[in-house]
Structure 1
Amino acid sequence: MDHIYLRDLEVEAVIGVYPWEQRVRRRLRFDIELGADTRVAARSGDIADTVDYEAVANCIRAIASREPHVLLECLAEEIAETLLRRFGGHSVRLTVGKPGAVAGAREVGIVIERGHP
Structure 2
Amino acid sequence: MDKIFLHGMKAETLIGVYDWEREQPQTLLLDLVVGVPEKSGAGDDISNTVHYADVCEAVRASLKNQRFLLLEALAEHVADLVLSDFGAQWVKVKIVKPGILPDVREVGVEIERSVD
Scaled to the shorter chain, the TM-score interval is over 0.9
Does the CA contact (< 8 Å) of 1:90 and 1:115 recur in 2?
yes
* 2:54 aligned partner: 55
Structure 1: unaligned runs, 5 residues or longer: none
* 2:17 aligned partner: 17
Q: Which has the higher strand share?
A: 2
Q: Which has the higher helix share?
A: 1
**Could you say what the CA RMSD is over the residues aligned between the two structures, in angstroms?**
1.1
SS of the aligned residue for 1:48 comes to helix
Normalising by structure 1, we get a TM-score of: 0.93
- Percent same amino acid at aligned positions? 37
Does the CA contact (< 8 Å) of 2:37 and 2:48 recur in 1?
no
SS of the aligned residue for 2:95 comes to strand
Normalising by structure 2, we get a TM-score of: 0.93
Which whole-Å CA distance do the structure 2 matches of 1:18 and 1:77 have between them? 20
- Aligned pairs, how many? 116
Does the CA contact (< 8 Å) of 1:14 and 1:26 recur in 2?
yes
Off by >6 Å, runs of 4+ in structure 1: none
User: Amino acid of the residue matched to residue 12 of structure 1?
Assistant: E
Which whole-Å CA distance do the structure 2 matches of 1:32 and 1:45 have between them? 22
Deviation digits for residues 55-91 of structure 1, max 9, x if unmatched?
A: 1101110221112211111111011011001111111
Deviation digits for residues 93-115 of structure 1, max 9, x if unmatched?
A: 00011001111111100000001
* 2:7 aligned partner: 7
How do 1:84-95 residues align onto structure 2 when only pairs under 5 Å count?
84-95=83-94
Which whole-Å CA distance do the structure 1 matches of 2:25 and 2:81 have between them? 23
